[in-house]
Every structure is written in structure tokens, then in C-alpha cells.
Amino acid sequence: MIGIGVIGYGYWGPNLVRNFAEVPGCRVVAVSDLLIERLAQVRNRYPAIKTTTDYGDLLADPDIDAIVVATPVSTHFPLAMQALSAGKHVFVEKPLAPTTEQVARLIAHAAECDRVLMVDHTFIYTGAVQKIKDLVTEGRLGQLYYYDSVRVNLGLFQHDVSVLWDLAVHDLAIMDYVLGEHPYAVAATGVAHVAGQPANIAYLTCFFERNLLAHLHVNWLAPVKVRRTLIGGDRQMIVYDDLEPSEKVKVYDKGIFLQNGRSGAQDEEGIHKLLVGYRAGDMWAPQLSLTEALRVEATHFVDCIEHRRRPLSDGEAGLRVVRILEAATRSLANGGQPVELSREQVYT
């Protein structure tokens, strides 16, 4: 039985406690938070869980094997480092840390301590993204052409991070998992419409080898809520709409093909044209697992601890996402100038 300690009981903490409380093979031993009202909520709902305002109590508790960090981003690094040093496995809310340098140190320290380090990339544990990953891996889409996502709504403006770090982090985590490739450059543009605040609308382009292009649109100031991703390949294409109540993933047997045996033709105006044909077939919406993503993820974390497995969203996944966010932030500050991600940087 893995003992879990949760640091932070704000917005996301209650969801983490609720899920870890119901995963077989683990139990939530204690929760810490700076606010005693929140701790009262914990005791009210879970009388058996210990509470404290001092997270140090959790690090010192021999019944606790793993620490879940659900605090503001700026505190992720020191808390996770201390937890690893205390011999605990660590599960950290996204993004793993605010800089690649800190993420790299966390990865190194976890390796030294021989502990599991996992970042909470929740979406990759949804039935929808799991299915998309399967389809891509099976080659159903053929060669990938593009990845295009839109994640916009009204609110919630953050005061300390831009919309990239708040919303695009989700899409980058999904993209990293689904594509299994790393961009060699990124470019981002965006604007802060409230003076003195971080950007509330942003567009992020990721350049990959072999003409694969990814693009993300994130916006805190949209009149409607949109959560839609298009993934195009040379065999099939996917529309993933997370707001659809039931058919979130639609697979289209559509595409183009080049006319066989000839690369082009003379058209009536005497111009040499390549003949591009269009193929339209069935659409198919596979049945998806309805298990709550956080439940799947919490179960996976416990499983990785027990069997010393590497999590799907390990420190490296966290690093790849933070590296893109960091480069995108730099590009945005430079008016959209593309920023290269050297291969050494990616894999060091």
C-alpha cells in the first residue's frame, strides 16, 4: 500500500485527493496547505486523512512514499527537489517547472535518488487522446501532415503566467504524446490586452522535420468555448472535439492523391498542372473509454512506483513541453521571430 502525501489543496488539489483516495493500492496519508479553511474541508470529507500547514511534516512522514505537488508553478521546483531528497516519489502538476534548467535538474535528481518523477499531463490519459495515439501508432493516418489545435474561451486570466503556459501546455502535452516527434523550431505571437499583464491570446507554430507543421491557438478572451484539434495525414484525418458529449474523436477516410502514372497535365489554358485527386470515404467515431483521466493517471503513477516503470508523462515529457513553452515565450517577446531548438538541447 503506497502512502500518498498531497501538498496544496487549492483548485486542482481536491481532484487529486479524490482520485488517489479511490485508487486501489494506495491511500492518501496527509494533506498540507497554508490555509486552515482548506484543511478543514479535507478533514470534513476525509476524516482519516491527516492535515498540516507544514509540508515538511509530509516529507518527514515514514508512512508517505510519494508526494503530489499541487501548488503554484513557481514552487514546483523546490518542493519536488526536497521531496526527492527525502526519498519520496514525486507527481507534479503541469507544467513541471518554470524553466528547462529546473526541469533538467529535477530529472537528474530523480535519477540520482532512484525515484519516480511524473508530471500531470492529464489529457494524455483521456480515452480520446489514448485512442488518437493508437490510431497514429498503427499508421492509420499515414504520414503526418499537420496538427492544428484551438483552445479558447472567456477566462480565467492568470496574473503570473501567459495563456501559453496556462492553456497551450495542455495541447503541447497532447501533441508531444501523439506525434512522438520533436520540433526543431517554434514561433509565437500574442498580445496582452490588459496593461501590465501577460499575453491573453497567443498563436504558436512548431516546425518539425518532413514538412510536419503544428499550430496552436489559445485565447482567454473568446466569446465561445472551443476545444478542437485537426490532425491531418496522407491516409486519414482526425477531428478531436473535446466539447462533443459523445463522439469526441472522428476519423475521416479522406485525403488527396496524385494521379497515377503521370505527374501532371496541360490544362486548357496551356499551363502545366499537377493533377491532385480527392478521396472521400466513411467517417468513423470510435467508442472511447469513459474513465476519468485523473483516475487513469493516478493508477498509472502507483503502478509505476510499484513496478519501477517509467511513466508516460515522465520528466523528459515535462522537459520537452517546457522547452517549447520557453522558446515560444522568447519568440513572442521578439515579435514572432522563430526560435530554433537545437537537437543537443532537446536530448541533453
Q: Is 292 or 303 the residue whose CB approaches a copy of itself more closely?
A: 292
Q: Is 262 in the site for a copy of itself (CB under 8 A)?
A: no
Q: Which of 5, 13, 127, 232 binds a copy of itself (CB under 8 A)?
A: 232
Report the distance separating Cα 131 and Cα 330, nearest Å. Answer: 33
Report the distance separating Cα 199 and Cα 161, nearest Å. Answer: 8
Q: Is 230 in the site for a copy of itself (CB under 8 A)?
A: yes
Q: Which of 45, 309, 310, 343 binds a copy of itself (CB under 8 A)?
A: 45
Judge contact between 106 and 89, C-beta under 8 A: no
Report the distance separating Cα 148 and Cα 171, nearest Å. Answer: 9
Q: Is 148 in the site for a copy of itself (CB under 8 A)?
A: yes
Instruction: Give the C-alpha distances (Å, rounded to integers) separating 235 from 93, 206, 232, 250, 284.
Output: 36, 22, 8, 14, 14
Q: Which of 53, 85, 137, 287 binds a copy of itself (CB under 8 A)?
A: 287
Q: Which of 222, 235, 303, 346 binds a copy of itself (CB under 8 A)?
A: 222
Report the distance separating Cα 344 and Cα 348, nearest Å. Answer: 6
Q: Is 21 in the site for a copy of itself (CB under 8 A)?
A: no
Closest listed residue to residue 215, CA positions, set 226, 228, 202, 205:
205
Q: Is 111 or 256 the residue whose CB approaches a copy of itself more closely?
A: 256
Closest listed residue to residue 25, CA positions, set 69, 57, 85, 66:
66
Q: Is 159 in the site for a copy of itself (CB under 8 A)?
A: yes
Name the minimum Å distance from CB 238 to a copy of itself: 7
Q: Is 86 or 221 the residue whose CB approaches a copy of itself more closely?
A: 221
Q: Is 291 in the site for a copy of itself (CB under 8 A)?
A: no
My answer on whether omega of the bond before 156 falls inside 30° of 0, hence cis, is: yes
Closest listed residue to residue 94, CA positions, set 69, 119, 129:
119
Q: Is 185 in the site for a copy of itself (CB under 8 A)?
A: yes
Choices 40-48, 102-110, 117-125, 304-312 (CB under 8 A): range interacting with a copy of itself: 40-48
Q: Is 197 in the site for a copy of itself (CB under 8 A)?
A: yes
Q: Is 34 or 107 the residue whose CB approaches a copy of itself more closely?
A: 34
How many residues make contact with a copy of itself (CB under 8 A)? 79
Report the distance separating Cα 237 and Cα 287, nearest Å. Answer: 17
Name the minimum Å distance from CB 34 to a copy of itself: 7
Choices 17-25, 49-57, 165-173, 199-207 (CB under 8 A): range interacting with a copy of itself: 199-207
Q: Is 219 or 313 the residue whose CB approaches a copy of itself more closely?
A: 219
Choices 19-27, 53-61, 174-182, 214-222 (CB under 8 A): range interacting with a copy of itself: 214-222
Name the minimum Å distance from CB 142 to a copy of itself: 11
Q: Is 191 in the site for a copy of itself (CB under 8 A)?
A: yes
Name which of residues 304 to 333 contact a copy of itself (CB under 8 A). none
Q: Which of 243, 289, 330, 342 binds a copy of itself (CB under 8 A)?
A: 243
Report the distance separating Cα 342 and Cα 324, nearest Å. Answer: 11
Name which of residues 77 to 136 contact a copy of itself (CB under 8 A). none
Judge contact between 142 and 164, C-beta under 8 A: no
The β-bridge partners of 233 are: 144
Sheet holding 117-120, edge to edge: 50-52, 26-32, 2-7, 66-69, 89-93, 117-120
Q: Is 269 or 344 the residue whose CB approaches a copy of itself more closely?
A: 269
Residue 229, number of CB atoms within 10 A of its CB: 24
Q: What is the chain's alpha carbon radius of gyration, rounded to the nearest angstrom?
A: 22
Report the distance separating Cα 222 and Cα 157, nearest Å. Answer: 12
Q: Is 252 in the site for a copy of itself (CB under 8 A)?
A: yes
